[in-house]
Structure 1
Amino acid sequence: MRRRTLLIGAGAAVVAGGLGWAGATAFAPADRPLALVYRGPAACDGCAEAVAALLRATTTPLRVEYCGPDEATSLTAASLGKAVLYAQPGGGTLDDGWRQMRRYAEDIRGWVSAGGRYVGFCLGGYLAGATPGFGLLPGDTDQYIASRAASVRTTKDTVVTVSWRGRDRTLYFQDGPEFRLRPGSGANVLATYDTGAPAAVVVAYGKGRVGVVGPHPEADAGWYRSARLAMPDGGQDDLGRDLVETTLA
């Protein structure tokens, strides 16, 4: 995935302006439920910040903190135990991402199984799968652009049209996954690609819940400008909020 400039775009600018500096970690009063966003070598520059901005804009009031190997908060069973939600942003390839994240797999699985909420965007969706990944889905993931009759074949930054709750919507896309779920899994399919394959789903895992999406509903205007793409009228952050709120419900 293309490396993006930190805190680009309108949504990120609001966050930075509210905090006064781009390196701050917490985004809300300490009495709000905690959401952890991974920031580190498995995430592309700007991806964690875009997810944090999305979480900050959800109806559920959340206190957002970054976690990772170089953050004040480490990604551990103890830090997860203090959170209601953990978000895995987009990043590079699945193999590279898994090399960085496999050390955390047992803690993440245990936390979600006990009632935690996992939200994964693009690479975060791939990592929710099993080959390789955290094994949080009733099935696995696959590469949408390699699927039969896919309307997008390039690995470059582009857009894709999905049916989100029955309405056609265009989202930022860069080699995101489709989700191959076992029949009878009880998954809540929020969106499908034009092939009919799930593009965004929410599933149960133990006592917890997992929400994953192949495209990038968290992408702000800066992403589109950087890739020289036209941003959909009205944006798409409502879809990201839908994913998060459905996972939290």
Structure 2
Amino acid sequence: MNRNGDTRSTVVNRRRLLFGVLPAAALMVGCGESGAGARTASRRLALIYNGAQGCPGCAPAVADLLQGAPHPFEVKYVGPGTEIPVSAAALAEAQLYVQPGGGADLEATWQSLRGSAGLIRDWVRDGGSYLGLCFGGYLAGRNPGFDLLPGDTNGYINSPGATVPDARDTVVPVDWQGKPRHMYFQDGPAFFLDDGADATVLATYPNGTAAVVVAPYGKGRVGVSGPHPEADESWYAEKGLTNPDGVHFDLAYELIEATVGRR
């Protein structure tokens, strides 16, 4: 889905149809010190949005990624339809908030999130970390969105010289800090930063637009990716796609640590 509100039937696939949830024990493990960024590296908590507008399989994919990271996270799902609303109390226990990919209607999703927008902005400003993947990257932008970026977003496929012409699932080449890599992609955003913005571009698309960005927001940080660094082998197999690099999560882990650091 791109920011101009064009919805696409191609976003409905395995990740949207298989409703994945973590066992209750996995969702409820551990408590920690309150206050954004106050948890130790061995007890980091991530809240993953898993509301009705998100794709059912995307949140579990991110949960698997975070639990298996070199510096792992405890995870809890939040949002409409889960047991935990997005609230100041829930955020106070967490170091990372994740807005996954998979949505098809930006405006409709925003209606579910707008009541929490101020809470999330305040929490990030006070030291929390926001990770937005694909659709969650769109939502880090403006109008509608959390307005967490020093700039805005729009669909990569709509940018001049885009190498992907439509919303099909595909593999896109990126320049990741000077190294050629490939990532799973499905109608994700490009990021258009303000002149002189305080931001680090980790990866660019072939037309030079920013594909993966990390930027400060107050005392916190925001990490966003247009492609899907969390895509596992099943995503590729379902669409008959091959990643020339093989399926690895090193880029995802680099993005996560750049977003959260060791706080």
For normalisation by structure 1, the TM-score amounts to: 0.89
Determine whether 1:112 maps to 2:120.
no
Pairwise mapping of residues 1-249 of structure 1 onto structure 2 (< 5 A)? 1-5=11-15, 22-24=22-24, 26=26, 30=30, 32-91=43-102, 92-249=104-261
Runs of 4+ more than 4 Å apart: 5-8
Distance, in Å, in 1 between the alignment partners of 2:25 and 2:122 is 25
SS at match of 1:26: helix
CA RMSD of aligned residues (A): 2.0
1:137-196 Cα shifts (integer Å, max 9, x gaps): 011001110111100011111111111111111111110000011121120110000111
Aligned length: 238
Contact 1:173 1:216 in 2 (8 A): yes
Identity %: 50
Counterpart of 2:26, as a letter, is: A
Distance, in Å, in 2 between the alignment partners of 1:246 and 1:130 is 22
SS at match of 2:241: coil
Distance, in Å, in 2 between the alignment partners of 1:163 and 1:95 is 31
SS at match of 2:173: strand
Distance, in Å, in 2 between the alignment partners of 1:6 and 1:90 is 10
Contact 2:141 2:153 in 1 (8 A): yes
Contact 1:25 1:64 in 2 (8 A): no
Contact 1:97 1:123 in 2 (8 A): no
1:4 Cα deviation after fit: 2.5
1:99 Cα deviation after fit: 2.3
Distance, in Å, in 2 between the alignment partners of 1:5 and 1:243 is 22
1:79-107 Cα shifts (integer Å, max 9, x gaps): 01110000000022322322222221111
Say if 1:136 and 1:40 are closer, same or farther in 2 by CA, change over 3 A.
same
**Structure 2, gaps ≥5 residues long:** 1-10, 33-42
Say if 1:191 and 1:216 are closer, same or farther in 2 by CA, change over 3 A.
same
Contact 2:171 2:243 in 1 (8 A): no
Say if 1:155 and 1:39 are closer, same or farther in 2 by CA, change over 3 A.
same
Distance, in Å, in 2 between the alignment partners of 1:38 and 1:22 is 13
**Structure 1, gaps ≥5 residues long:** 9-15
Contact 1:58 1:245 in 2 (8 A): no
SS at match of 2:55: coil
